[in-house]
Amino acid sequence: MLQQVLALAGRPEGAARQARVISSIAVDAGSRLESSTVSWLELALDTPAGESIPPFWAVVLAMEHLSGPDIGDEPRDPAVVLPAVWFQTSGSEEPRQRWHLDMWVDPAQV
Locate the domains of the chain by residue range: 1-33, 35-110
Q: What is the pTM of this model?
A: 0.57
Domain 35-110 has CATH 3.10.180.10: yes
Give which of 60, 84, 82, 83 is closest to 74, Cα–Cα.
84
The total number of residues shown for the chain amounts to: 110
Q: State the CB neighbour count (10 A cutoff) for residue 84.
A: 19
Contact 95, 48 (CB under 8 A): no
Tens of pLDDT, residue by residue over 5-31, are 445 555 555 666 777 787 888 888 888
Tens of pLDDT, residue by residue over 26-69, are 888 888 777 666 677 888 888 888 888 888 988 988 888 878 77
According to DSSP, residue 37 is labeled T
Judged against a pLDDT cut of 60, whether residue 102 lies above it is answered with yes
DSSP 51-92: TTSHHHHHHHTT-EEEEETTTEEEEE-TTS-SPEEEEEE--S
